[in-house]
Structure 1
Amino acid sequence: MTSPGQMPNPAMLARQADDGQSAIDAIATAVAGLDEVREMPVAEHVERFEAVHTALTDALSKADHLLSATSAHRS
């Protein structure tokens, strides 16, 4: 899935669960990956920030889907 030292793709993790917990875990993993940015070469920062952005975008999309599904069940 990933090379040694490479951050796992949190976007893939965020798509797995229907209860949203995987999305929450993926966000935590992605944000934790930002802790290492200071030690990384500047050239690698963009890739890391893009991975976090993707994870957050996917998690928000997942949340919208969960809210839509919950609203549909109430009707």
Structure 2
Amino acid sequence: MTVPAPGPRPGDPRPGAERPVAALRAEVDAAVTALDALDDRPVAEHPAAFERVHAALGRALGAGAERE
């Protein structure tokens, strides 16, 4: 019996879809900058903004680990 090799996890970048550091930095900067507008937004919208920042940071950190 053979065991299949694991495939990519959900959210993993596709092979060959490496993004340049500048693009990742811009994505993180945009997500963090959007937090400045939270004072004017309903509290119910805050979790989605934090999730966007978390996702952007995760992608940037994951890309950094792949470059090592």
Normalised by the size of structure 1, how large is the TM-score? 0.63
> Which of the two has higher C-alpha Rg?
2
SS in structure 1 opposite 2:57? helix
**One-letter code of the match for 2:49?**
R
Gaps of 5+ in 1: 1-14, 68-75
Number of equivalenced pairs: 52
Instruction: Indicate conservation of the 8 Å contact 1:16/1:22, yes or no.
Output: no
Match of 1:58 in 2: 59
Task: Indicate whether 1:34 and 2:35 are aligned.
Answer: yes
More helix by share: 1
| Cα RMSD (Å) | 1.4
> 4+ residue runs of structure 1 moved beyond 3 angstroms?
none
SS in structure 1 opposite 2:54? helix
Cα offsets for 1:16-37 (capped at 9, x unmatched):
62x3111111111111010111
* Distance (Å, rounded) in 1 between the aligned partners of 2:59 and 2:48: 16
Gaps of 5+ in 2: 1-16
Percentage of matched positions with identical amino acids: 33
Task: Indicate whether 1:25 and 2:26 are aligned.
Answer: yes
* Distance (Å, rounded) in 2 between the aligned partners of 1:48 and 1:56: 13
Instruction: Indicate conservation of the 8 Å contact 2:18/2:63, yes or no.
Output: no
